[in-house]
């Protein structure tokens, strides 16, 4: 039934009911008929006014919601209507709009991120390839130094190979195609393996690597945690001055187990700390690294429900690899 006719229907119903009462009532008279007719008119009028107010209230809520959606700023934490008549509908609409906007923003950010990654990877590959081409020209122009040029070509090829290996590992972590093992192993033995792997780099800078603290066991994927510690240690070696010391400290609490890697480098500025875990970011642009090691280490720690925390001052930096129990 159309709501515009509803008040008249009620009024007609009351009037017809009054006629029935008049017919069956022995005391019925013209005054009673007029009374019921007046009652029907008053009832119709009251219902009509009530429905009109409700309709106006509903329309105002619709208009407010439309105005809100047209002027909405999704950056604000909370947006509310002055009239909460359509509060639930508003919440659902805002939720839907916010989700779609976030999805759109995420897609745009991912596109920008992918563009930057491709540019960085292209640069990382192009540099050694350009070097190889120049060295090949030199081998023809200066055959007397062929051995030196061949060695430099080999180093550039190894650099591309190492970059490819790092990118494959990083993409595997991002794609969640690797299932991390959960087996206990000695943290101290793992650090000794890392030290052995980096022995040539340590000797080249005449660094002293000291391991302190009581050993403990870590439950996780030894191969990947080895990769995380190795990359953090590489970073410490890279930023440490010659003839300095790097301390690896093992520490355990009731809540977590930590491996601290402490260097005597120049320290890291506060505004730079967050950038350390951005891919291809390097503190020293002249460094031979790719800027992938620390982001990979953080990703590996996240895969083990852990974290990497940084403390730094002008005397050096401390990287804490924290494993929660």
> What topology is assigned to 183-324 in CATH?
Heat Shock Protein 90 (3.30.565)
Tell me, what's the pLDDT at 115?
A: 76
SS3 (DSSP) at 117: helix
How large a percentage of the chain has pLDDT more than 70?
76
Tell me, what's the pLDDT at 307?
A: 93
∠ CA(290), CA(310), CA(183), 5° rounding? 80
Beta strands per DSSP E along 167-313: 183-186, 208-212, 217-220, 245-252, 256-262, 307-313
Summarize the confidence of residues 144-156 as an average pLDDT: 87
Summarize the confidence of residues 107-123 as an average pLDDT: 74
CB 320 within 8 A of CB 260: yes
d(CA 121, CA 321) in angstroms, rounded, equals: 27
> What topology is assigned to 90-174 in CATH?
Helix Hairpins (1.10.287)
220, two tokens: 């996780």
21, two tokens: 């009462």
Looking at the whole model, is its pTM more than 0.75?
A: no
- Which is more confident, 211 or 21? 211
CB 18 within 8 A of CB 33: yes
Q: At what angle do helices 146-174 and 293-303 cross, to 10 degrees?
A: 30
Summarize the confidence of residues 6-31 as an average pLDDT: 61
């Amino acid at each position: 039934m159309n709501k515009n006719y509803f008040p008249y229907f009620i009024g007609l119903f009351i009037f017809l009911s009054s006629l029935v009462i008049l017919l069956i009532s022995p005391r019925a008279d013209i005054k009673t008929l007029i009374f019921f007719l007046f009652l029907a008119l008053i009832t119709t009028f009251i219902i009509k006014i009530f429905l009109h107010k409700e309709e106006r209230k509903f329309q105002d809520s619709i208009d407010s919601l439309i105005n809100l959606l047209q002027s909405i700023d999704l950056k604000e934490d909370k947006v509310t209507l002055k009239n909460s008549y359509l509060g639930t509908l508003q919440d659902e609409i805002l939720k839907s709009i916010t989700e779609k906007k976030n999805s759109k923003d995420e897609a745009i950010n991912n596109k920008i991120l992918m563009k930057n990654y491709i540019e960085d990877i292209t640069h990382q590959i192009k540099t050694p390839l350009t070097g190889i081409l120049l060295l090949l020209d030199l081998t023809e122009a200066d055959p007397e130094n062929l051995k030196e040029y061949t060695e430099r070509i080999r180093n550039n090829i190894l650099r591309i190979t190492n970059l490819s290996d790092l990118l494959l590992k990083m993409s595997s972590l991002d794609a969640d195609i690797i299932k991390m093992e959960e087996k206990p192993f000695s943290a101290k033995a793992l650090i000794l393996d890392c030290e052995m792997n980096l022995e040539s780099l340590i000797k080249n800078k005449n660094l002293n690597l000291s391991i302190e603290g009581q050993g403990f066991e870590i439950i996780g994927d030894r191969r990947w945690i080895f990769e995380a510690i190795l990359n953090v240690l590489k970073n410490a070696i890279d930023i440490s001055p010659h003839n300095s010391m790097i301390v690896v400290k093992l520490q355990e609490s009731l809540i977590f187990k930590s491996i601290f890697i402490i260097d005597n480098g120049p320290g890291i500025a506060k505004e730079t700390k967050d950038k350390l875990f951005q891919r291809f970011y390097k503190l020293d642009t002249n460094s031979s690294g790719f800027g992938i090691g620390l982001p990979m280490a953080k990703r590996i720690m996240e895969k083990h429900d852990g974290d990497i925390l940084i403390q730094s001052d002008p005397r050096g930096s401390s990287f804490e690899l924290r494993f929660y129990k």
